Structure 1
Amino acid sequence: MADRKRVATYCGIAGAILSLGAITLGTVIAPPETFTWQGRALSDMGRYGAPTFPLFNGGLILGGLVGLPFAWRLWITCRNSIERLGVVLLSIAVVGMIGVGVFFLEHTALYLETSLHGVAALSVFGVAPFASWVYGSGAALAGDGRLAVASVWFGNVHPLAWLGWLLSLGGEADTSTWFAVPEFVAAVAFGGWIVVLAVTLRRRNDSEPDVPNR
């Protein structure tokens, strides 16, 4: 059991590295006609027919699948129902990330008549900050002040990034301008939070019995 928990903990770190690594590498190698920071969204790297199509979508799918066992690891260490709700939201965000890769831009050219890309993206960017805030609230109730503060502030990064982006537009109608920047900041905040959670769990005594569900 201890070995499974240890592996699941490292899955959280590996999943974050895989997904963020694929996104970052994609921004470096993507040709300007398919992606630029100033005029494109991150998902344009995964658009059907783009040179970075397999890298971007494959990285999100693989990173999400590798990271899912970490949700189980986090769940069995939850100390109250609020933390467990945070884990549920975290899982939704990770599944949403997988969905972004599965339901890539223009996936309707290959399958399904209805595009689900927007729903998947909203599941990540809309749910991830709430996962951090809720789990952080649960950590605070459990008396884990350091993890609570870290979780809440990782969640705060998301709205701050989007607010900063909106203010930078200065009333411009073209909301695609620099859209990839807050997306990337939010992705790093989500991945960084998961890494912090995994490192925190790793530092705990793996031999300590898990708290039973209440």
Structure 2
Amino acid sequence: MRNSHLLAGILAPIVGLGGVFAAIVINRSWWRLTENAISDMGRVGLKYNWVMNASLVLAALLGIYYATWLIKRSRNALERAGIVIFAIGLAFLTAIGVFPEGTSPHYYVSWAFFLTASLGLLMAGAGMGIAGNREILYSTIAIFALAWILALWARRHFRGVAVAEFIGVFAIVCWHYLVMLRVASAEATA
């Protein structure tokens, strides 16, 4: 069972970002990193919007499956609560694909994804630090702070929000793989 959870954790960001990058290629005639939002490529009525939307849903489901395993092996209540909140953030990522741009819930589920995923990773990282993993604690704080600073900067300097969104997404992905490597390493030595 552990292997399927780890495989899901490995694949989740690859599937999600793969779909987004495929959508960028498909929509390269009009989509611009500094002028648009990532969600523009999944909007209602756009030909091939399913490429991005389906990949977000699948990536989120894989991530939630991985998170169920991570929750079971968490070492304290703060870590567990953080992973649960992070998984809720992934549920909002599913909602982004289900309620694409052009539907009334889209704006809210997009913000909910970034806010809950950020809060979840911060809480889980703090919980891991309390449990003795200082590397994860310091890395979590650095990733969280740097991502929010850069995203706010990007939001002020570019017309579109895609740069800020990508900063947030890459921060989440970096944190995810950092935690996965530490967990897999701890499992291997146990």
TM-score (norm 2): 0.91
Cα offset, 1:63, TM superposition: 0.7
Equivalent in 123, 134, 146 of residue 145 of structure 1: 134
- The equivalent of 2:40 in structure 1 is 44
1:82-115 Cα offsets, whole Å, 9 max, x none, are: 10111111111100100000001124xxxxxxx1
**Identity across matched positions, percent:** 24
Does 2:136 match 1:136?
no
Q: Is the 8 A contact 1:132 1:152 kept in 2?
A: no
Gaps of 5+ in 1: 108-114, 170-176, 209-214
Cα offset, 1:167, TM superposition: 4.0
SS of aligned partner of 2:35: coil
Cα offset, 1:79, TM superposition: 0.8
Cα offset, 1:192, TM superposition: 2.1
More helix by share: 2
- After TM superposition, list the pairs within 5 Å mapping 1:55-66 onto structure 2: 55-66=51-62
Q: 1:8 to 1:201 in 2, by over 3 A?
A: same
Paired letter, 1:194: H
Does 2:21 match 1:24?
yes
Whole-angstrom distance in 2 between the partners of 1:153 and 1:15: 23
RMSD: 1.8
Does 2:181 match 1:199?
yes
Gaps of 5+ in 2: none
- The equivalent of 2:171 in structure 1 is 189
- The equivalent of 1:127 in structure 2 is 116
1:24-44 Cα offsets, whole Å, 9 max, x none, are: 2222331433x2112211100
Question: Rg bigger for which structure?
Answer: 1
SS of aligned partner of 1:127: helix
Whole-angstrom distance in 2 between the partners of 1:63 and 1:166: 25
TM-score (norm 1): 0.82
How many residue pairs match? The answer is: 190
